[in-house]
Structure 1
């Protein structure tokens, strides 16, 4: 994008220089070269050199004073911009009014194009820093939320453990809050929920077709749409009658639409969306359920999107103002050549059409401008030939290059032919033809650079929003995989301690104290502080926790020494696997084995007592683990065999990790 912007500016500057070169100034290419260098490197000696070359071109070679516009434009870009007025005054002393107007217009265009390049460079340079800042702000916000809630709850649980009082209620509430927070952070983006829904439906034997047409993040609308999708998919899985399902999202103006269709409906009242219709209505949207004659059901939710406050369109304002100045300046030149004011009405229409369609060129506007460009030539002659350049610019913007270039070539050819028919000298005819092309490039450049700056700014904002979404998803993963596991273990220990005698309860409460310390470390990790786990330590902790739950544990560790990233990731995988054993099974036996071979390490957790549930494969935990392992070029495999469930994680021992 930056290369395209610079190319536009170089072409425009070269066009100006070519006009003066054709007019007989051999120094025009040198003035052009200095201007190109100055656009990227602002030095006083370049301004001085350019001034010497431009004035030499005027005084020695008799060039038009319009070439001094390069000097005036360069000065406008420096703190000593008032000196540009002195250049205008010198041009007025050296030449007639028409070239002086051209000099002013060239100065404005040089200033405008260079400032647009500067703006594009500034926006591009701010892209990464803005994304980093946005992620850091989101991390601080999440840390403040979690510290105020879960941090205080962990302190309360630890105090109860020290005094011999297991605080079961606080532990249960903390676990529920952590799960709710993880779901909330995750649901702010609809994309992960779509992935999970697809996995759940596929596991249930439903053929899924997903069409994503929305942009992330959606903010509160994303959370609510994720809830609608979750409930709709849960109903499809619960009924077990669907064979196909379509999940579709679409952005329409300021609204986003979610549509979930399946072929397994039975009756019009077969849906169960709870209070979601009321929530959607309260958010300014609609939630409808339709049953078709072919027993297909469609759940459709439409919600307004939350958009960031509009930024001032400084880039468009600058380009529009400069274009207006160029149009008015040219109109004044044309009126001076005609020697009458009555054509001003036609010129006013052209100016109006140009400015009105700055954000997009329409066939009607182009047609009107084409008529006003060529029809008055027989009446006004040479004075009207310059108008053609203001038709070439919109055409370059309106059409693709294969279409626009032949059209612009045709306009230039018409100007040249008109010059011949009007009996103009050949050099003057060539000058008008080149000027038509240059004017078109300048108009195109002013508006296209504004578009590029706007596109780059939108790209920067999208990158920042994506960084915020990624930070929320990271926090959700860590909440679920790290803190969720530890809080579940704390709750189990607290409940166990409450049922045991004082001596045995004391041992369990000592474990609670140890776990609350680990939970505080996990909380800091969730808040963005880097934390490392040990697979061996997690395996010992898993054995203790499973044994406390009455599960026979077989532990066989043969993985050896691992890198910190691999060790931490497999530790997290083991935590989630143990949590699943406790939550999703009535296991009586569990085996945990690790092995290292051929540059890969493999962790396998296998347990019996699997319940008849369909949600496990598509759960958030499994999705989180898949994402973590994929980042290390690893994989996760799950397998069910009768009442046994096996989770296996394989990852290279020296995994490449992006910085």
Structure 2
């Protein structure tokens, strides 16, 4: 179920989220750069050295903000690699020139490497940098705690750089993906409407046409029979109007008994002998009953449109936990099998949604059979009758935020514990201070930073007050500014208190801690550390907590936005139905009533009205096809952008290389369909992490290829089976027909143990 966001909140999150992460990222990164400069200055460096340090830090900041942490930069391409190499030169060159004061910049390099390089290379490199930083510190003083502090500083800094940079790009990707996902939902809704028009109105309008023709012939000599046919035309037209409303409102439950009665009437009018045999199958679920009514309607519609049947037998039976419906007729045309049109494909998708199967085709005795079999209770399909796709939960955004937040909080806690150990107080004081640090971590991790927890409550205010006592008591009692984690308290104040009060409390805590360091006369660098560390930690606690909540709510909002888009599409489609079909069906109803009154009184006028009914009903059928077909053409450019956004939202790395060339609309539509089907299969049936989509013009052919990793199950290279990308269903078969319609060929299957390729080749028009 979609989470219902307040309208003001829905408008605010997309606007605030990217700005918030940029503000937090800029403030935190700037704090690191300022702290590094203060360390260089504290070493009493010459003015030239200070100037070089400023230039180096400015260059690092430019690389970080402009390329490495910019979601719009080509961070995984050549530009990102060059920026990382420049970062490495500045980082390790600076470390050689300025010493330990440059250590935090090593963390920036480690975090940037994870952003730029492939994970299989980046994370081992991150570990190497982590270990190497500790090893270098060991060569300096052989103090295990110093080694742990330095290595922990590099790790925490690297995770902060990676986490804030990645979350910034994820928030923007999610914001962009909402429109694409809503658009996809709208497209599915359009196709559903087109299918429902075919299923619900096609038979009704065909029956009206047939019965009007019959009544037209009967008026002079068989007036009672003509009145009977017109009465049935009236009933059908009224039901068709109800069907129009049902399509628009998505209420589509059909009566099996009503459809059987309608089938008898229509077959009678077409002079088709029939037998309807519905043996006792027990109580069918509404879904199964509606489905069988749809099968019966489709079977009779196909009979009227595509056969020369003289007899039709309808049988409903059961065997165990399965129920069957068979629609058999003897009118298979020479060279045909009755499978014209898209109705059978639509019907198949509906039956499969209930866990059943459809078979249709000519038999050896010259008859044609349509059979559907489904479980008695028919499963639990969605209201749209679409087969429920495998829900592909986002694999990185919420999890990344949670894991990184936990890692950073623990990292800060480790640093605080090391500082407590080196503070020079008694063992009892050390133990009590450490208990306070761990208590602060527990409060932040278990309560204040958890998305969805109502921290602005009496309990939240009480725990914030308790945390203030835990934080400042050791500092006051043991007279040392190095005790506790005041940054955690500052971040919690921003989360618990109203914005203005929280901002004042945040500044107050930062200033208080900084002054505490200053009053203890610990030097400029350490005083600066008190200010900067408290500010940075507070902003990270607040920012990452808010970002975790926003990422989760943006994911949930996608469903709601898709629902809103679908609702809007339904309203627009309802207007189309009203404009195109409402008048026609109302006119048929009125003219049928008039014809009934005229028969026997003015037969010539009655026949004229019947002729007009025929014209209207034929035009209404044309309108149905027009409304339905207007939703079919696809835009290759739109599908390309939709695919890019969908894959990015699913955290699948995608590379697109599509040649720009002028193509006929039918070719562009075929390619757009291939792209949509390929991405749909990938999302539903694989665990892909990488995807490459190419469209290449070579000689007299166009070749589109969609290649991805992450096959599910075993699939031999070169074979197209039901494993891998799930190509055992109808999607690839339907796609093959579409590509063949424009003279092309389609290939799909595994090309290696972990790689799947869908490839379409289409000849270029001369």
TM range (shorter): 0.5 to 0.7
What value does the CA root-mean-square deviation take over the aligned residues? Answer: 3.0
**What aligned pairs does 1:189-208 form with structure 2 within 5 A after superposition?**
none
Q: Judging changes above 3 Å, is the alpha-carbon distance between structure 1 residues 391 and 310 closer, same or farther for their aligned structure 2 residues?
A: farther
Match of 1:483 in 2: 581
Q: Judging changes above 3 Å, is the alpha-carbon distance between structure 1 residues 94 and 29 closer, same or farther for their aligned structure 2 residues?
A: farther
Q: Judging changes above 3 Å, is the alpha-carbon distance between structure 1 residues 312 and 86 closer, same or farther for their aligned structure 2 residues?
A: closer
Q: Judging changes above 3 Å, is the alpha-carbon distance between structure 1 residues 134 and 173 closer, same or farther for their aligned structure 2 residues?
A: farther
Q: Judging changes above 3 Å, is the alpha-carbon distance between structure 1 residues 89 and 310 closer, same or farther for their aligned structure 2 residues?
A: closer
Residues in 1 aligned to 2:629 and 2:439: alpha-carbon distance in whole angstroms? 59
**What aligned pairs does 1:235-314 form with structure 2 within 5 A after superposition?**
none
Query: How far has the Cα of 1:44 moved from its partner?
Result: 0.2
Match of 2:408 in 1: 326
Residues in 2 aligned to 1:174 and 1:163: alpha-carbon distance in whole angstroms? 15
Contact 1:335 1:344 in 2 (8 A): yes
**What aligned pairs does 1:399-414 form with structure 2 within 5 A after superposition?**
399-414=497-512
Query: How far has the Cα of 1:13 moved from its partner?
Result: 1.8
**What aligned pairs does 1:36-435 form with structure 2 within 5 A after superposition?**
36-37=65-66, 38-40=68-70, 41=73, 42=75, 43-62=80-99, 63-77=101-115, 78-79=117-118, 80-81=121-122, 82-95=124-137, 96-164=147-215, 167-181=229-243, 183-184=245-246, 315-339=397-421, 343-355=433-445, 356-358=447-449, 359=451, 360=453, 361=455, 362-378=460-476, 382=480, 384-385=482-483, 387-435=485-533
Match of 1:597 in 2: none
Q: Any idea what the Cα deviations from partners look like across 1:107-136, whole Å, max 9, x if unmatched?
A: 111111112112112212212211221111
Match of 1:628 in 2: none
Query: How far has the Cα of 1:180 moved from its partner?
Result: 3.3
Contact 2:215 2:610 in 1 (8 A): yes
Aligned residues: 414
Q: Judging changes above 3 Å, is the alpha-carbon distance between structure 1 residues 54 and 372 closer, same or farther for their aligned structure 2 residues?
A: same
Residues in 2 aligned to 1:341 and 1:170: alpha-carbon distance in whole angstroms? 91
Query: How far has the Cα of 1:452 moved from its partner?
Result: 3.0
Contact 2:204 2:236 in 1 (8 A): yes
Residues in 1 aligned to 2:94 and 2:480: alpha-carbon distance in whole angstroms? 26
Q: Judging changes above 3 Å, is the alpha-carbon distance between structure 1 residues 151 and 381 closer, same or farther for their aligned structure 2 residues?
A: farther
Query: How far has the Cα of 1:522 moved from its partner?
Result: 2.9
Q: Judging changes above 3 Å, is the alpha-carbon distance between structure 1 residues 178 and 136 closer, same or farther for their aligned structure 2 residues?
A: farther
SS in 1 for 2:485: helix
Residues in 2 aligned to 1:56 and 1:170: alpha-carbon distance in whole angstroms? 91
Q: Judging changes above 3 Å, is the alpha-carbon distance between structure 1 residues 158 and 352 closer, same or farther for their aligned structure 2 residues?
A: same
Query: How far has the Cα of 1:470 moved from its partner?
Result: 1.0
Q: 2:609 aligns with which of 464, 485, 508?
A: 508
Match of 1:233 in 2: none
Contact 2:21 2:164 in 1 (8 A): no
Q: Which runs of 5+ in 2 are unaligned?
A: 1-14, 41-52, 138-146, 217-225, 252-382, 422-429, 633-766
Contact 1:73 1:109 in 2 (8 A): yes
The normalised TM-score by structure 1 is 0.58
Match of 2:367 in 1: none
Contact 2:204 2:237 in 1 (8 A): no
Match of 1:16 in 2: 32
Contact 2:241 2:585 in 1 (8 A): no
Residues in 2 aligned to 1:349 and 1:373: alpha-carbon distance in whole angstroms? 9
Q: Judging changes above 3 Å, is the alpha-carbon distance between structure 1 residues 350 and 316 closer, same or farther for their aligned structure 2 residues?
A: farther
Residues in 2 aligned to 1:181 and 1:394: alpha-carbon distance in whole angstroms? 57
Q: Any idea what the Cα deviations from partners look like across 1:444-473, whole Å, max 9, x if unmatched?
A: 221222233334334433332111111111
SS in 1 for 2:521: coil
Residues in 1 aligned to 2:247 and 2:493: alpha-carbon distance in whole angstroms? 47
Q: Any idea what the Cα deviations from partners look like across 1:283-313, whole Å, max 9, x if unmatched?
A: xxxxxxxxxxxxxxxxxxxxxxx9x999669
Q: Judging changes above 3 Å, is the alpha-carbon distance between structure 1 residues 127 and 481 closer, same or farther for their aligned structure 2 residues?
A: same
Q: Judging changes above 3 Å, is the alpha-carbon distance between structure 1 residues 171 and 396 closer, same or farther for their aligned structure 2 residues?
A: farther
Q: Judging changes above 3 Å, is the alpha-carbon distance between structure 1 residues 506 and 441 closer, same or farther for their aligned structure 2 residues?
A: same
Contact 1:475 1:527 in 2 (8 A): no
Q: Which runs of 5+ in 1 are unaligned?
A: 190-305, 532-659
Residues in 2 aligned to 1:371 and 1:461: alpha-carbon distance in whole angstroms? 43
Query: How far has the Cα of 1:106 moved from its partner?
Result: 0.8
Q: Judging changes above 3 Å, is the alpha-carbon distance between structure 1 residues 422 and 89 closer, same or farther for their aligned structure 2 residues?
A: same
Match of 1:283 in 2: none
Q: 1:29 aligns with which of 42, 55, 58?
A: 58
Residues in 1 aligned to 2:415 and 2:479: alpha-carbon distance in whole angstroms? 14
**What aligned pairs does 1:548-559 form with structure 2 within 5 A after superposition?**
none
Residues in 1 aligned to 2:553 and 2:84: alpha-carbon distance in whole angstroms? 32
Q: Any idea what the Cα deviations from partners look like across 1:121-176, whole Å, max 9, x if unmatched?
A: 22122122112211111122122222111111101111223334564355434443
Q: Which runs of 4+ in 1 moved over 6 A?
A: 308-313
SS in 2 for 1:3: helix
Match of 2:563 in 1: 465
Query: How far has the Cα of 1:341 moved from its partner?
Result: 5.7
Contact 1:385 1:415 in 2 (8 A): no
Q: 1:519 aligns with which of 620, 624, 639?
A: 620
The normalised TM-score by structure 2 is 0.50
Q: Any idea what the Cα deviations from partners look like across 1:231-256, whole Å, max 9, x if unmatched?
A: xxxxxxxxxxxxxxxxxxxxxxxxxx
Query: How far has the Cα of 1:387 moved from its partner?
Result: 0.6
SS in 2 for 1:441: helix
Q: Judging changes above 3 Å, is the alpha-carbon distance between structure 1 residues 171 and 11 closer, same or farther for their aligned structure 2 residues?
A: farther
Query: How far has the Cα of 1:486 moved from its partner?
Result: 0.4
Contact 1:153 1:170 in 2 (8 A): no
